[in-house]
Structure 1
Amino acid sequence: MSPYEALKLLGPGIVQATVDKVNIIRAKLKATQDRQKSYVDVRRKDLKFEVSDRVFLRLSPWKGVVRFAKRGKLTPRYIGPYEIVERIGLVAYRIDLSEELSRVHDVFHISMLCKYISDPSYVLKTPEIEFRDDLSYKE
């Protein structure tokens, strides 16, 4: 039987009911997407860095790879701080990496960066310790 003959037998009522259900599903999906977008927009912040700003670099979570001699929850999330050398486009930055990271490409997406805010109170000054000849010291 051709589709047109089946349409005559089933009638336009079933087709209209199906179209109505598809429209209801689309409306519910749109409402769900809008709700999720409103949740994300609350936490979203526009990041913009300037040249010579200092940033931390996010490490990608690779499973099973031991980086910086730590494993599991104690692995560092960020390394740095590094200085931004150049802005490339709207969301990419060139960073001045250290010598041990010389094999890594030096252009990163803005999502991989975290702003470094320097605070002099976090810098700890170590007192000078005078050692004796037998490598002991006075507390």
Structure 2
Amino acid sequence: MVAYELDLPNKLASMHPVFHVSMLKKCVGDPISIVSLEGLVVKENHSYEEVPVEIID
């Protein structure tokens, strides 16, 4: 069995830092759910402003 221990930041200290490789699953992406990063601006404090793209209903 292979396991990895993550070096988590202090704010995530309540999470268990070890995960087992056997629990990983292949990610099958859905091309429809891919979000374009064009126009996305991330500020220095790692925040961003959400701008609606389309009104669905």
Q: Which structure has the highest helix share of the two?
A: 1
Greater RCO, CA 8 A, separation 6+: 2
- TM-score of the two chains, using structure 1 as the length reference: 0.15
- TM-score of the two chains, using structure 2 as the length reference: 0.33
